[in-house]
Structures are given as C-alpha cells and as structure tokens.
Amino acid sequence: MNPIDPKTTFTMAEHAKQQERVNSKNKDDKAVKKISAEFEAIMVQSMFKAMRKTVPEGGLFPKSNAEKIYEEMLDMELATQVSQKQSLGLAKQIYEQMQSKLNQQKK
C-alpha cells in the first residue's frame, strides 16, 4: 500500500482550484462578449429605426400594420447580421470596458 503524500494531495487540490478559476473566467469572458454583441445589435437596430423614420411615406396605399411589423423584424435581423459580420466597433469597446470593470472588482 502506498502512503498518501500530503504535498501531492495539496498540489492536486490547488491545481483543481486553478482549473476551476480558469474555466469560470472563460465562461465570464464568453458571456461578456455575447452581451456586448447583443447590445451593439440593439444600438444598430435603433439606428435603422431612426433612419427609416426619415424616409417619407408615400405611395398608392398606406402601410398596414403587417408591413410595419415586417419592417421592424427586418431591421432587427439586419442589425443582428451587421453586428455579427461587420461590427461597428461598439461591441469591442463595451467588452473592453466591462473587462476592466470585472478585473477591478476581482482585485
């Protein structure tokens, strides 16, 4: 029977704690990135909404509620795609600020 070495047991426990911290940090990092991208999409959507208001309504028929809902959904999807594929840089700035705040809180 091998005797249990306290140093080895302590080292293994410490290693497990470090792995847990790293995994927790990675989860936090991913969550902050996701939230930053979602916030950028919301900002882009509000920008699209404001731009759409500048276009005068006209034409033979007035817009129905279905058309208005469709345009809002289209703006939402376009904003999501723009923020994912061609970021305006807002998500990056939000992410960096949130990371600095999180690092300050951990100290």
Q: How does pLDDT run along the chain (107 residues), one tens digit per residue?
A: 556 665 565 566 666 666 666 666 778 788 888 888 889 899 999 999 999 889 888 778 888 899 999 999 999 999 888 888 877 888 889 889 988 888 787 76
Question: What's the CA gap between 97 and 53, in Å, rounded?
Answer: 32
- Based on the structure, what is the number of domains in the chain? 1
Which tokens is 83 given? Answer: 């923020």
Domain range for 78: 35-106
Q: Model-level pTM?
A: 0.67
Q: Is residue 26 part of a domain?
A: no
User: Which of 29, 46, 40 lies closest to 86 in space, CA to CA?
Assistant: 40
Q: Is residue 97 part of a domain?
A: yes
pLDDT score of 3:
61
pLDDT score of 69:
93
Which tokens is 11 given? Answer: 């080292």
Q: Is residue 2 part of a domain?
A: no
Q: Is residue 5 part of a domain?
A: no
Question: What's the CA gap between 96 and 87, in Å, rounded?
Answer: 15
Q: Is residue 81 part of a domain?
A: yes
Q: Is residue 17 part of a domain?
A: no
Q: Is residue 20 part of a domain?
A: no
